[in-house]
């Protein structure tokens, strides 16, 4: 028996705001959308155009309260081919939330408070 990654899910309050953020910050594009017939939810899958892995954004109708993310000890990670330019973009966007200079990485925060780790391209592929 074998298992392979399919996607990760983040629940979001403002789907349009989140789609804009993920396109601007990480270059992710919509690959698929599913809307409930009764309008109770929308699922949007985002891809990087390079790997089969997807990020699923879930919007639930009527949800107004922020999602409880606990201590936010979970995260997604992205490798960039231009770490310096990525950091400059994210700093300009105001979404850098934590920098670990010792490890040579930083984190950005999306509109709903999810953290995303940004890694430089390395030969050892973290």
Axis-axis angle for helices 83-93, 15-26 (nearest 10): 150
Residue 26, in any domain of the structure:
yes
Domain tally, the chain: 1
Residue 11, in any domain of the structure:
yes
Q: Is 119 exposed, middle or buried (0-12, 13-18, 19+ CB in 10 A)?
A: middle
Residue 80, in any domain of the structure:
yes
| Containing structural domain, residue 103 | 7-62+75-120
Distance of CA 63 to the CA centre of its chain: 20
Q: Which residues are catalytic?
A: 117
Residue 43, in any domain of the structure:
yes
Query: pLDDT tens, 29-46?
Result: 999 999 999 999 999 999
Taking the alpha carbons at both ends of the chain, their separation in whole angstroms is: 26
Sequential pLDDT tens for the chain (126 residues): 987 889 999 999 999 999 999 999 999 999 999 999 999 999 999 999 999 999 999 999 999 999 998 887 788 999 999 999 999 999 999 999 999 999 999 999 999 999 999 999 886 655
The per-residue pLDDT for 71 is 81
The b/e string for 55-77 (b: 16+ C-beta within 10 A; e otherwise) is bbbebeeeeeeeeeeeeeeeeee
Q: For position 33, which CATH number holds?
A: 3.10.180.10
- The C-alpha atoms of residue 126 and residue 18 are separated, in whole angstroms, by 27
Residue 67, in any domain of the structure:
no
The per-residue pLDDT for 14 is 97
pTM: 0.91
């Amino acid at each position: 028996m074998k298992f392979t990654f399919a996607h990760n899910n983040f629940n979001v309050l403002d789907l349009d705001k989140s789609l804009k953020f993920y396109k601007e910050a990480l270059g992710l594009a919509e690959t698929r959308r599913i809307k409930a017939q009764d309008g109770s939810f929308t699922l949007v899958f985002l891809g990087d155009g390079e790997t089969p892995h997807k990020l699923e954004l879930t919007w639930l109708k009527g949800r107004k309260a922020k999602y409880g993310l606990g201590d936010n000890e979970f995260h997604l990670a992205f490798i960039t081919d231009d770490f310096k330019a990525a950091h400059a973009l994210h700093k300009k966007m105001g979404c850098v939330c934590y920098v670990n200079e010792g490890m040579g990485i930083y984190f950005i925060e999306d509109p709903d408070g999810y953290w995303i780790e940004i890694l430089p391209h390395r030969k050892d592929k973290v």
